A and B are shown apart, each in its own frame.
Chain A
């Protein structure tokens, strides 16, 4: 392929310019005044990542200035919601810093609502504050732009580079420009992965034109996981996928509705149903059902049971709250600020929630690490908070040296959300500067051979397509290649049917998972025959590769954990109960980059907060 190679030598490379990546780029400048700081972004940082569309709330803010919550309260909350298990050191560390980020957002111009009576930020619930956040991302992107030496938009990073002098150290990253096709080689002393989690690994409920209407953005292509996995980084809690209870079809958010508008759910016959399933749930999970607030997965579980009992659909009762014009405005603006699609669904179906109680549904599963779940890379915590098993020198550094993470990339840090992801980026950036200072005399080696080998692999889907395209008259059916959409749909079907998606009511077991792994292995083989017609399809091809790789990891973790820890998110039919005796642990995986073999282990859960 006749594409140029563009080299960039830098100190810190940030891969992915979402909330985490922007926080990293911004903070890195303060500590690394003399350093070259580069961001490589797949889209355009003004509208990229999960916050591209905007947000109507910041879901993680302590309010220490008013004594509202303390970091240990956040740890208790996140731990409880995830059925007892998070990385408490990382959660506490994020929480003790997050307020400074939110205060800066307000200074930068983000409209935070104030409670007219108290003068404090308007709370939606205990943790969330309400904002007019349509321009949240452009504002934060501007902060990153002011710190970085250069932002490369439209670079699809396909692989991390390895340091050939040290087998377990990162040397940079490589990818291609989606517009020009040029190969971009970033040699870096430290890399911070701020890429996105995983939508579209499980078959979505809408499979036609509406398949883009996933809960998490369709551009969240699991790069946050595949990039570290391919370099041999350890991952944690990848089985801890999340299923969202949302307004039907548009997946419009329910947080403000439950917490601020005080709407509530009922079954098709107008009955409260959650309490009916108390004894049933208690038999599965024991005392966790008595926790307050009720863990999200257990509320999902009651929803699923009620629907399975034939009393669906479940409705959100909005007709009472929406009689208040202020609440009605909040209800609509909540969607317009972050999920416009739900407003479109209601407009098209003539659903005015003032008069009609809209339907809810449970989504397909997602794997991510910044919302109310905690899949991601196993990373070091801060020196002053972390037990020895959780600490190896640099805060937020993965098990590969010089490789850091933020946002979806980090495992164990549930309920970080937008502000917490930005904060994690800041923490990773400071630690990365320290890492670079400590290793100044030992630069990484990235040989021309390594780059040449990757170049061949990166463009192979386009070459493969060109070789076989004219074998057929026209159309999409070839005996020699699959298009990226074909591979994606096969992946979604495998994950759905074998790893606990919607069509099997989130149920799986050991035989199913083993079948799933066999099929994923063959899909990995077939990836070698993916054909890409143009650069856009080449981007889709590499997104597919990242999704398949992350899916293998999810399936390995799901197989390893022999219990049902999060009923409502997924069920192990062969181990239908929560098992604290054997499984009150974090799960870790590592894929050997040479052999492709996976190795699983357990890691202890430290409760650093009572």
Chain B
């Protein structure tokens, strides 16, 4: 369902242009509002729909297989940490769904590694990544799994 933009709602802020992974949301030079310049390269990912502060962007299913009369609307609320969907069928039936999108305040639980304890002198030569083996949480407190090379099954040659 390529996206389209309602003329009376869009204020030309450009959030959709910034976020579109396919680079197809652009600002129309005449109307100074957003438009989808290449509907056949739209993945219907809804990134622009979710990013629009004016709820000005919607999708209409791909013309080659989606009959008219449907809608799938979304409201992503970052502060609440939820996303809400309303699906409307062509025959008028509706379905609603709400899901969490995060369990933590945005970004605050993510480590800044420059402020974490630095690696030891020889750690660069080990096979461990940052925070391992602790964060692997291996049963019984075991270390990083390894296979002894003398146990390799013989290579299949040609």
B145/A345 in contact, CB under 8 A:
no
Interface presence of A509 (CB below 8 A):
no
Q: Which of B19, B109, B145, B151 contacts A107 (CB 8 A)?
A: B109
A340 to B149, CA, bound (A): 46
B64/A206 in contact, CB under 8 A:
yes
Q: Which of B91-141 contact A (CB under 8 A)?
A: 91, 93, 95, 97, 99-107, 109-114, 116, 118-119, 124-125, 127, 129-133, 135-139
Q: Name B131's closest neighbour in chain A (CB-CB).
A: A100
Chain B: minimal CB distance from A68 (Å): 10
Interface presence of A65 (CB below 8 A):
yes
A427 to B93, CA, bound (A): 49
Chain A: minimal CB distance from B140 (Å): 9
A536/B37 in contact, CB under 8 A:
yes
A47/B155 in contact, CB under 8 A:
no
Interface string of A292-318 (1 = CB under 8 A from B): 000000000000000000000000000
Q: Which of A30, A49, A347, A608 has the most CB of B within 10 A?
A: A347
Interface size class of B (residues with CB under 8 A): 35 or more
Task: Describe B's contact surface by its main secondary structure.
Answer: loop
A571 to B94, CA, bound (A): 44
Interface presence of B1 (CB below 8 A):
yes
Residues of B with C-beta under 8 A to A609: 147, 153
A48 to B156, CA, bound (A): 39
Q: Which of B95, B127, B152, B158 contacts A382 (CB 8 A)?
A: B127
Residues of A with C-beta under 8 A to B139: 64-67
Q: Name B107's closest neighbour in chain A (CB-CB).
A: A142
Q: Name B140's closest neighbour in chain A (CB-CB).
A: A67
Residues of B with C-beta under 8 A to A214: 43
Q: Which of B69, B70, B129 contacts A27 (CB 8 A)?
A: B129
Q: Which of A71, A92, A212, A423 contacts B39 (CB 8 A)?
A: A212
A212 to B20, CA, bound (A): 14
A134 to B85, CA, bound (A): 12
Q: Which of B18, B90, B111 contacts A350 (CB 8 A)?
A: B90
Q: Name B135's closest neighbour in chain A (CB-CB).
A: A100
Interface size class of A (residues with CB under 8 A): 35 or more
A53 to B42, CA, bound (A): 12
Interface presence of A29 (CB below 8 A):
yes
Interface string of A425-442 (1 = CB under 8 A from B): 011001001100100000
Residues of A with C-beta under 8 A to B10: none
Q: Which of A222-230, A231-239, A511-519, A599-607 contacts B (4 or more CB under 8 A)?
A: A599-607
Interface presence of B53 (CB below 8 A):
no
Residues of B with C-beta under 8 A to A49: 21
Q: Which of B18, B76, B118 contacts A44 (CB 8 A)?
A: B18
Q: Which of B65, B127, B145 contacts A210 (CB 8 A)?
A: B65
Known: A44-B19, A605-B156. A344 touches B103 (CB 8 A): no
Residues of B with C-beta under 8 A to A107: 109
Interface presence of B71 (CB below 8 A):
yes
Q: Which of B20, B83, B124 contacts A31 (CB 8 A)?
A: B124
Known: A43-B21, A46-B19, A344-B1. A70 touches B46 (CB 8 A): no
Q: Which of A20-52 contact B (CB under 8 A)?
A: 26-27, 29-31, 33, 42-44, 46-49, 52
Binding site for A on B (CB under 8 A): 1-2, 18-23, 26, 37-47, 59, 61-72, 74, 76, 83, 85, 87-91, 93, 95, 97, 99-107, 109-114, 116, 118-119, 124-125, 127, 129-133, 135-139, 144-147, 149, 151-158
